[in-house]
A = this chain, B = another copy of it.
């Protein structure tokens, strides 16, 4: 082992019999891409004291006020245990309300408060602007095609 071997790894082609090169695997490609995209949004989110997941919840509730927790979980791609904690905190912080449903005492419906709507109104335009910039950098057509391919993959695997 010579000292000071930089990151120069073995080379683009791995040994036979090994797993495909890690960087070429689909799961890591999805992860890395998401990371690069989200990095564009993070300063904006931090500026408003929102986590990425909290902003997802606010967006969906804004679009679908009265949604119940189960549907929200599915829509946001956040599992119920995480969502339960988040809703408790978002309610405590005054961004949304949870209301028991008459006729099914298990369910609760969720809606934004005035404060929640204000937050959305403040954040949404800038969020859109960032998204538009990403579209421009990557190409609107290519981006639409990519989203379409992702959806197709999901359909084929489900």
- Give A contacts to B, CB under 8 Å: 1, 3-5, 7, 9-10, 14, 17-38, 40-41, 56, 59-60, 62-64, 66, 71, 74-75, 77, 101-104, 124, 127-128, 131, 134, 137-139, 142-143, 145-147, 149-154, 156-158
Q: Is the CB of B157 within 8 A of A150?
A: no
Q: Is the CB of B77 within 8 A of A35?
A: yes
Q: Is the CB of B131 within 8 A of A157?
A: no
Q: Is the CB of B157 within 8 A of A103?
A: no
In the complex where A64-B9, A137-B156 touch, is A34 in contact with B36 (Cβ < 8 A)? Answer: no
Q: Is the CB of A156 within 8 A of B131?
A: no
Tell me the interface secondary structure of chain A in the complex: helix
Q: Is the CB of A150 within 8 A of B29?
A: yes
A selection of 6 A-B contacts at a CB cut-off of 8 Å is: A17-B124, A19-B63, A22-B60, A29-B147, A146-B146, A146-B149
What residue in chain B is nearest A153 (Cβ atoms)? B138
In the complex where A14-B63, A143-B26 touch, is A37 in contact with B157 (Cβ < 8 A)? Answer: yes
A121-B108 Cα distance, complex, nearest whole Å? 48
